[in-house]
């Protein structure tokens, strides 16, 4: 279960409130988006501009991290019943803060900026996060170090982007980090043009269909698995569709409705 921006319909997306709610419903991975601020800080944010989800205006890229942190990320939010969010102010997160807040939870990062600087900044943030985890292990007692090492080694991070140049740049900078296929790589997989049995990516993260081409059949799922690649579908908010995809062999779903997904995963024996 991948929580799409935590949730976009039950709490303000890409906020601690959304991510905490996703974990309450036993999501395995927090799916999120990142964009660079004016001072090249990696911000947890989906849109190019601020007005849809915050009380700010203009492009994210034209605001410093300090200015962005003053905004309320719940200001424009209404839930699926049209109710305004009743919680406290939700501050925009940096990627570093997301790692600090959820050190033992899977994190899936979608780089939104079509900019090599974004790939560089995300790779740097992940490396610093790994370095901090390793340092904390080294300064623990031996018994605690074993426990901490086991926990940190199990945190799964995956990075993707719609921009092929960006994800290629990221892979060069962080070759040990899992990545998702770009749209061009997905096309090569779908149409049988994959160059090798094992390409540079570990995941396909795709919709059920694209421009009329069905992508959710057993044949594609089997083809992905034959290349040692996991396949995830987005954004699935209907119980019947979730169940059908999982029955066909999909490795998981990305959803705005972790509450519904938990019901399905429990019914199918994937969750308690």
CATH number, residue 199? 3.20.20.190
pLDDT of residue 85: 82
Tell me the CB-side half-sphere exposure of residue 177, using CA atoms within 13 A. Answer: 28
pLDDT of residue 45: 98
Q: Which domain holds residue 78?
A: 2-267
pLDDT of residue 134: 72
pLDDT of residue 199: 67
pLDDT of residue 211: 86
3-state SS of the chain is CEEECCCCCCCCCCCHHHHHHHHHCCCCEEEEEEEECCCCCEEECCCCECCCCCCCCCEHHHCCHHHHCCCCCCCCCECCCCCECCCCCCCCCEHHHHHHHCCCCEEEEEECCCCHHHHHHHHHHHHHHHHHHHHHHHCCCHHHHHHHHHHHHCCCEEEECCCHHHHHHHHHHCCCCEEECCHHHHHHHHCCCCCCCCCCCCEEEECCEECCEECCCHHHHHHHHHCCCEEEECCCCCHHHHHHHHHHCCCEEEECCHHHHHHHHHHCCCCC
pLDDT of residue 145: 37
pLDDT of residue 150: 39
* Total count of domains within the chain: 1
pLDDT along the chain (272 residues), means of 10: 98 97 98 98 98 96 98 93 84 98 96 97 96 62 37 75 96 96 90 64 94 91 93 98 97 98 97 92
The reply to whether 13 falls in a domain is yes
Question: Residues 15, 97: contact at Cβ < 8 Å?
Answer: no
What pTM did the predictor assign? 0.90
The reply to whether 149 falls in a domain is yes
Cα-Cα-Cα-Cα dihedral of 90, 95, 97, 99, to 10°?
Answer: 120
The reply to whether 272 falls in a domain is no
The reply to whether 11 falls in a domain is yes
């Amino acid at each position: 279960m991948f929580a799409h921006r935590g949730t976009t319909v039950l709490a303000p997306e890409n906020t601690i409130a959304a991510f905490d709610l996703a974990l309450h419903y036993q999501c395995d991975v927090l799916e999120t988006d990142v964009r660079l601020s004016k001072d090249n800080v990696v911000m947890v944010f989906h849109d190019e501009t601020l007005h849809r989800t915050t009380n700010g205006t203009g492009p994210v890229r034209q605001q410093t991290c300090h200015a962005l942190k003053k905004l309320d990320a719940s200001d424009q939010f209404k839930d699926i019943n049209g109710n305004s969010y009743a919680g406290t102010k939700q501050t925009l997160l940096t990627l570093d803060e997301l790692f600090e807040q959820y050190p033992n939870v899977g994190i899936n990062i979608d780089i939104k900026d079509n900019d090599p600087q974004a790939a560089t900044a995300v790779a740097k943030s992940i490396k610093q996060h790994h370095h901090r985890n390793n340092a904390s292990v080294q300064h623990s007692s031996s018994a605690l170090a074993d426990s901490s090492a086991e926990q940190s080694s199990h945190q799964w991070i995956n990075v993707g982007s719609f921009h092929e140049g960006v994800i290629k740049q990221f892979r060069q900078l962080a070759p040990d980090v899992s990545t998702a296929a770009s749209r061009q790589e997905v096309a090569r997989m779908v149409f049988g043009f994959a160059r090798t049995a094992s390409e540079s990516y570990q995941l396909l993260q795709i919709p059920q269909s694209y421009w009329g081409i069905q992508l959710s059949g057993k044949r594609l799922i089997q083809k992905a698995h034959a290349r040692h690649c996991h396949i995830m579908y987005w954004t699935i908010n209907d119980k019947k569709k979730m169940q059908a995809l999982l029955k066909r062999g999909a490795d998981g779903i990305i959803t705005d409705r972790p509450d519904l997904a938990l019901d399905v995963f429990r019914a199918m024996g994937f969750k308690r």
